[in-house]
Amino acid sequence: MSLIHTRITPAADTVAAAVNPSQPLEALEAAEGLLQDELNASPLVSVVIPTYNRARVVERALKTAFAQTYRNLEIIIVDDGSTDDTEAALAPFQDRIGYFYQKNQGASAARNRAIQEARGKYIAFLDSDDEWLPTKLEQQIALLESRPDLSFVACLSTNETRTYTDYDDHDKQFLKFILQPFTQNMTRYVVRRECFEKFGLFDTSIHGPEDWELWLRLLQNGCRFGFVPEVLMAYTSSDDAISSRPYAMLAGEAIIRQRYVESLPSFWQRLRLGTWFRARSYMNAAVCFREEGKLWKSLGYMLSSVLISPFGPRNNLRLRVLVALVRALILRPFQSNRSGS
C-alpha cells in the first residue's frame, strides 16, 4: 500500500493561468515563490477522513475538501478495514491524499491513526458521508487564528432546527456540554493539534459519543470552545452510523456520566445533572428503538426518561413520542388483523 502525503495547493492551476509557458524560467520561479510565501503565511490544516465501506459517498466528501477556499491543507484518509471498493474509489486521488488502510477497529481508532500521521497545526474532521461548504475552513481557521484562547471550534449544519446559547460563556461551557453537547457531529469541528498532544486522543473504549467525551475532557482541562454561527457543512444520516445503535450509545453515555457527572464537586450538581443526563440518554435510546420498529423497547425507555425526570430535557419531544408510541401499540393488533384478512 503506497502512503502518500501531499499538500493541496493552488500552485499548478494559478501558475498555469498567470504565467505564459513562453516566459523565462525566472518569471515562473518568481510566481511559484510568491504562491509558496502565501501558503507559508497560513498554517497547515490536516483534514481527517475516517471511512468504512463508504465507496459510494467518500468521493463526494473528498471533493468538498478539495473545493475549500482555504488552500494550505493535507488530506488524510484512514480506511478502517473496508471490504467494498473504497480503495478503488480513492485511487484517482492518490497523488493528492494520504491513504492508510488498517483492520477494522472503529471510527475512534481510525481518527486516532490519522491524527498521529497528521502534520498540521489544526485538525479538521470530515466524516466520509458528510460535506463541507466551500468557506468552512477559511472561516474556522480565521476564528482560531484571531482567538488564541480557543482550542476547538464548530459550525452549524444544514439540518439545524435549534439555536445555541451560552456556548460563548467560558465559565459555563463545561456544564453546558454536559447538559447538551454542541451538536455531536465531528464534521463540524476543527481542533488545535496541541490539544491531542496534551490531553490525549479519542477514547476507543467508547463507541458512539466518543466526540462528546473528548470535548468534556478538553473543557475539564481548561480548553475553550468557540463556534462560527453559520451553516458551513451538510450532514447525512446513514443507516450504519453508530448513533443508530442505541445499546452502544447507552454504554458510551454511561461511561461519560460516571467520568464527568459523578465527579462534579457539588452533591446537588451531581444529583440534578445526573438525573437529567440519564433522562436524556433514555430519550435518545427510545427514539432510536422507535426508528428500528422496536416499539415496546422504545416505550420502556421513554417511560423511564419521563419518570426519572418529569420536567427534564425536551419535554415536548418526549411527550409527542410517548403519545405516538402508545397510539401505535394500541392500533397495532387492528392493523395486523386487517393485513391478514
Per-residue pLDDT 10s for the chain (341 aa) are: 334 334 444 444 443 444 455 566 666 565 555 555 555 678 999 999 999 999 999 999 999 999 999 999 999 999 999 999 999 999 999 999 999 999 999 999 999 999 999 999 999 999 999 999 999 999 999 999 999 999 999 999 887 666 676 788 888 899 989 887 777 789 999 999 999 999 999 999 998 899 999 999 999 999 999 999 999 999 876 655 545 688 988 999 999 999 999 989 899 999 999 999 999 899 989 988 988 889 999 999 999 999 999 887 778 888 888 888 988 888 777 665 555 55
DSSP H or E segment with residue 122: strand 122-125
Q: Are 157 and 188 in contact (CB under 8 A)?
A: yes
Count other C-beta atoms under 10 Å from residue 67's C-beta: 12
* 210 Cα distance to chain centroid: 10
Q: Please state, in angstroms and rounded to a whole number, the distance separating the CA atoms of residues 126 and 24.
A: 41
Contacts of 32 by beta carbon, 8 Å cutoff, 6+ apart = 11, 15
Torsion of CA 43, 234, 240, 118, to 10 degrees: 0
Return the DSSP state at 97.
S
Q: How far apart are CA 52 and CA 79, in angstroms?
A: 6
Q: How far apart are CA 148 and CA 145, in angstroms?
A: 6
This prediction's pTM: 0.82
CA distances from 42 to 27, 124, 152 (A): 24, 15, 18
